[in-house]
Amino acid sequence: MKNTHELNSISEMCEADSHNQLTDLDPLGMDSDSLIQDFRHYFTHTLGRDRRCCSNHYYYKALAQTLRDRLMERWKNTRYAYDEGNCKRTYYLSMEFLMGRALRNAMLNLDVEADVKDGLEELGIVMEDLVEMEHDAGLGNGGLGRLAACFLDSCATLQLPVTGYGIRYEYGMFRQVIEDGYQLEEPDHWLRDGNPWELERPEYAQRIHFGGRTEHFVDPEGKHHARWVDTHDVLAVPFDNPVPGYRNGTVNTLRLWKAAATDEFDLDEFNAGDYADAVEAKNQAEHISMVLYPNDASENGKALRLRQQYFLASASLKDVIRGWKRAHKDFSEFSSKNCFQLNDTHPTIAVAELMRLLVDIERLDWDDAWEITSQTMAYTNHTLLPEALERWSVPLFKQLLPRLLEVIYEINARFLSEVSARWPMDTQRLGRLSIIEEGPVKQVRMAHLAIVGSFSVNGVAALHSELLKQGLFRDFYEIWPEKFNNKTNGVTQRRWMIACNPGLTQLLNETIGESWAYQLDDLKGLRQQASDHAFQQRWMAVRRENKVRLSNTIWRDCGVKFDPDALFDVQVKRMHEYKRQLLNLLHVLHLYDRIKQGDTENWTPRCVLFGGKAAPGYARAKQIIKLINNVARVVNRDRQVRELLQVAFLPNYRVTAMEIIAPGTDLSEQISTAGKEASGTGNMKFMMNGALTIGTLDGANIEIRDAVGEEHFFLFGHSAQQVQDLRPHYNPEHFIQGDNRLSRVMSLLESGHFNQFEPGLFDAIAQSIRSPQDPWLVAADFSSYIDAQQRASEHFNWSERWAQSSILNTACSGFFSTDRTMQEYNRDIWQLNPMAPLTMEMK
Ligand SMILES: *Cc1c(COP(=O)(O)O)cnc(C)c1O
């Protein structure tokens, strides 16, 4: 027995106020007095604290509420403008949004930071302390999730009607603790103290189906239909998060879905006396949004992950269709007014779900539904690594989503018949292209479904997009060359320069004006200052302050003293073999070896910082963390060494850590095996903040080097083509014997010097470097890496030259703003019209 009243009772509350009387209010004051008055009101009346309470936590909450009110009115005006403009919209579907903190971003974009700071100061409260109270919203693993967050920021700033859809994980990315050099994972219960920014909207809850079976029937007019029955349903409850644009009145929406049990009860179970069991079964529903899977760039194949993907796709599509039907009588214009951008293959089940909704629920013909779907979906690929390519076993699919599997089979059958019409008898090609992979257990290839179902397929940097066409997706490129395009990633300069590097921001504003905040290309005005000695000194003074700030963080969190006058050499990113933290560590061992040999003439003192999380099941990445920590301990304890070389592993790398790290970095390590890093975005944050890059010709490094000029970038290593050519006959011993520096470093590593009380601990790592099967070619790139590091050291010793290169890196970073990335997506894929929020006069 089923009932659905729990959806109706709340939705009746909506759709009222058509005459604005209820919700038209005078705008809230943005001056210091108004802000502080509201701050005191929230502290005293809403939070119920008094003079005995001086907790920064409650001050933070009161300030967040104060700002949220200001966002709320702009949010409503933005929604009204999009609704009344009947404009085309894009929905960004992503399993991850790595938002970080929101407080400073809100103040920056509302342009109230100075007033808030002054007002709080009069109350004896330090604003910076309140900023530190906020927990990161860590709903993502790394680059892919942070990209989604930067995209939202730029879309709001460009006033594009783009909504983010994601999952409101109860537990975000785990907190990393280092104990005895090993990574431990602790749960990230980020919502425990409440989330002042989100707005629950139970009135828009959706019912999501799982399991059950399908029935096929013929209606009275003789048409065939399918229905999905005996399902186990879960509610998806939306929580909206404001995404403010930069000082433009726009507030876009990030809508995150939380899973909740329906209010239904299995009466049979209840009658059998298993009351508690029946309640427990309901509890299971909420597991869907319980935790973010902590795997970066690899699939794990768990059923719960497929549930999460379908939960996101189905809830979001139903939400969009609900909004559509409020204003439209049919779907004839749907594809010209809506676009879904799929952030990697994770939400690709949306292709099949939209077909199901249009055909089974809205009763469109298959061909019409397919026309709509394939003109509405757009797919972004984020990786070429085979272990990241998502495939789901057909039996699992059939059990969890039986109707979706039928839809996918139908899509595949029609697609393959087109292929065989064009290439008759080419069964090999059919096998390569099919959405279903044959084998002992058949698999659904999600990337194939994404390509077949989308009108646009893009990579995330020039090289990556080329490699997609030539390699992984070659057969698809042959069919649909026009679908394929490149959109080089970016980052938002509002968070990654203005909010995190106030010293640099002030210097830039004084030198070239303030327009770079929303037109990053204007940084090129700096180029003429790059060789000005007085400017170089001001530049380096700002950089030194940032290095002191970073050095204090490292002292607090690692107990290692970084000398701000040394070269700060930084590699922070997820721990992964393809990113080659190990190669960086071999360079550290080489420097250590040189110091121990007394080979230290013209030495450049270096502080080498590592940071990054390893997926909990990725044993090799965790061993490398342990090795870094062991090397750091030996190096930092040695009096002879530590004046010349320091090493630290900063625990719990996350957005908030990067906000301190990027401004204080001299040398940015971007050293992945060429062809493996799709784009990288950390590289861009460092460049903007004036770091020089040491890197391979991989991902966006290539575009960074082209932008700044080769003399301001330390290039090394095999190119993607050379990697491919070397691979079949790779012989690491050839490189080890061929470079005395590498053979010494390998001996040092294998001697047990760094694991004296843990014999054999790093044998497997050393063996992996010596293995002809090493996919990452660590030994092959060692020599040219060490040479490039030597060039970097010499460059750093000539401080005017370093200052000039640093200034030019910032000056040439304009291309790497997500404002540019979003304009390209909009020009080539979305074709949205910017739309300003309604103001009082317009209403
Ligand atoms: C930018 C960023 C990343 C991506 O870094 P890459 O070096 O491009 O892999 C990952 N995690 C966090 C917290 C970031 O801010």
Q: What is the pLDDT of residues 692-737, one digit of tens each?
A: 999 999 999 999 999 999 999 999 999 999 999 999 999 999 999 9
Contact 714, 694 (CB under 8 A): yes
pLDDT at 67: 98
Structure tokens at 816: 């790497």
The residues near 451 (Cβ < 8 Å, ≥ 6 apart) are 379, 457, 473, 476, 480, 483
Check pocket membership of 74 for ligand 1, CB cut-off 6 A: no
Atom 10 in ligand 1: which residue has the minimum CA distance? Answer: 142
- Predicted local confidence at residue 241, as pLDDT: 98
Q: Measure 682 CA to ligand 1 centroid, in angstroms.
A: 5
Q: Is the dihedral of CA 105, 111, 117, 123 positive or negative?
A: negative
**How far is the C-alpha of 254 from the C-alpha of 583, rounded, in Å?**
39
Of 59-63, 82-86, 101-105, 576-580, the least confident: 82-86
Nearest CA to ligand 1 atom 1: 682
The arithmetic mean of pLDDT across residues 380-393, rounded, is 92
Count the helices and strands in the chain (H runs, E runs): 35, 25
Q: How confident is the model at residue 22 (pLDDT cuts 50, 70, 90)?
A: confident
Residue 65 has pLDDT above 70, yes or no: yes
**In the chain, what are the domains?**
1-85+110-135 (no CATH), 88-100+137-392+450-488 (3.40.50.2000), 506-816 (3.40.50.2000)
* pLDDT value of residue 297: 79
Of 70, 168, 403, 573, which one is the catalytic site residue?
A: 573
User: What are the C-alpha distances in Å from 289 to residues 173, 286, 296, 793?
Assistant: 13, 6, 18, 48
Q: Give exposure, 645-656, as e/b (b: 16+ Cβ within 10 Å).
A: bbbbbbbbbbbb
Q: Rounded mean pLDDT of 417-446? A: 97
Q: Ligand 1, atom 15: nearest CA belongs to which residue?
A: 655
Q: Which amino acid belongs to residue 601?
A: E
CA–CA separation, 181 and 126 (whole Å): 35
pLDDT at 483 over 90: yes
Say if residue 8's pLDDT is above 80.
no
- Cα–Cα distance for residue pair 821/827, rounded to 1 Å: 10
Q: In sequence order, what E strands does 549-701 have?
A: 567-572, 606-611, 645-650, 667-670, 692-695
More confident residue, 272 or 305: 305
pLDDT, mean of residues 569-596 = 98
Residue 842: predicted pLDDT: 54
Catalytic choice (382, 547, 712, 795): 382
Q: How far away, in angstroms, is 521 Cα from ligand 1 center?
A: 23
The verdict on pTM exceeding 0.95 is: yes
Q: Is residue 1 very low, low, confident or very high in pLDDT (cuts 50, 70, 90)?
A: very low
Q: What share of the chain is helix, strand, coil (3-state, %, to 5)?
A: 50, 15, 35
Rounded-to-integer distance, Cα 503 and Cα 660, Å: 12
- Measured by CA distance, the residue closest to atom 4 of ligand 1 is 143
6 pLDDT band (50/70/90 cuts)?
Answer: very low
* Confidence band, pLDDT 50/70/90 cuts, at residue 19: low
C-alpha 186 – ligand 1 centre gap (Å):
20
C-beta of residue 642 within 8 angstroms of C-beta of residue 636: yes
Ligand 1 center–CA 126 separation, angstroms: 29
The chain-wide mean pLDDT, for the chain, equals: 95
Centroid of ligand 1 to alpha carbon of 535 (angstroms) = 30
Active-site annotation holds for 579: yes
Residues with Cβ within 8 Å of 725's Cβ and at least 6 positions away in sequence, in order, are none
Question: Does residue 100 line the site of ligand 1, with CB under 6 A?
Answer: no
**Residue 2: what pLDDT?**
39
The residue whose CA is least distant from atom 3 of ligand 1 is 143
Ligand 1 contacts CB of residue 611 (under 6 A): no
Residue 9 clears pLDDT 60, i.e. is over it: no
Note the pLDDT of residue 195: 98
Residue minimizing CA distance to atom 6 of ligand 1: 682
Residue 241's H or E segment, with its range, is strand 232-244
Closest by CA position to 232, among listed 77, 401, 354: 401
Q: What is the pLDDT of residues 788-822, one digit of tens each?
A: 999 999 999 999 999 999 999 999 999 999 999 99
Reported as half-sphere exposure (CB side, CA atoms, 13 A), residue 267 has a value of: 3
480: closest CA among 525, 519, 448, 445? 448
Residue in the block written with tokens 């009222």: 16
Q: Retrieve residue 39's tokens.
A: 């701050």
- Residues 100/153/42/127 CA torsion (nearest 10 deg): 60
| Residue 382 annotated as catalytic | yes
Q: Which of 61, 68, 685, 820 is catalytic?
A: 685
Both tokens assigned to 630: 């062991």
Please work out whether the CB of residue 654 comes within 6 Å of at least one atom of ligand 1: yes
Give the span between the Cα atoms of 172 and 98, in whole angstroms: 9
CA of 106 to the centre of ligand 1 (A): 22
Per-residue pLDDT, averaged over 824-840, amounts to 93
- d(C-alpha 477, C-alpha 499), whole Å: 41
Atom of ligand 1 nearest to the CA of 100: 13
pLDDT tens column, 164-190: 999 999 999 999 999 999 999 999 999
pLDDT at 7: 52
Is 483 one of the annotated active-site residues of the chain? no
138 Cβ below 6 A of ligand 1: no
Long-range contacts of 495-500 (CB under 8 A, 24+ apart): 495/100, 495/105, 495/150, 495/153, 495/659, 496/659, 496/662, 496/684, 496/685, 496/688, 496/689, 497/688, 497/689, 498/108, 499/104, 499/105, 499/108, 499/659, 500/658, 500/659, 500/660, 500/662, 500/663, 500/689
Confidence of residue 280 (pLDDT cuts 50, 70, 90): confident
Examine the residue annotation and report whether 574 is marked as an active-site residue of this protein. yes
Instruction: Give residue-wise pLDDT tens across range 658-700.
Output: 999 999 999 999 999 999 999 999 999 999 999 999 999 999 9
Residue 284 has pLDDT above 90, yes or no: no
Q: What pLDDT, on the 0 to 100 scale, is given for residue 843?
A: 47
User: From the CA of 654, how far away is ligand 1's center (Å)?
Assistant: 8
For residue 415, what are the CA distances in angstroms to 239, 370, 409, 544?
Answer: 38, 11, 10, 59
How high is the pLDDT of residue 270?
63
Query: What gap in Å lies between CA 383 and CA 104, rounded to an integer?
Result: 32
Cβ of 681 less than 6 Å from ligand 1: yes
The 10s digit of each residue's pLDDT in 432-459 is 999 999 999 999 999 999 999 999 999 9
Q: What sign does the CA torsion over 225, 230, 231, 234 have?
A: positive
Give the angle subtended at the CA of 311 by the CAs of 308 and 317, to the nearest 5°. Answer: 140
Assess whether the C-beta atom of 580 lies below 6 angstroms from ligand 1. no
Distance from the Cα of residue 636 to its chain's centroid: 34
Average pLDDT over residues 246-259: 98
User: Is the sign of the CA dihedral 595, 600, 604, 605 positive or negative?
Assistant: positive
Determine the Cα–Cα distance for residues 794 and 796; give it in Å rounded to an integer: 5
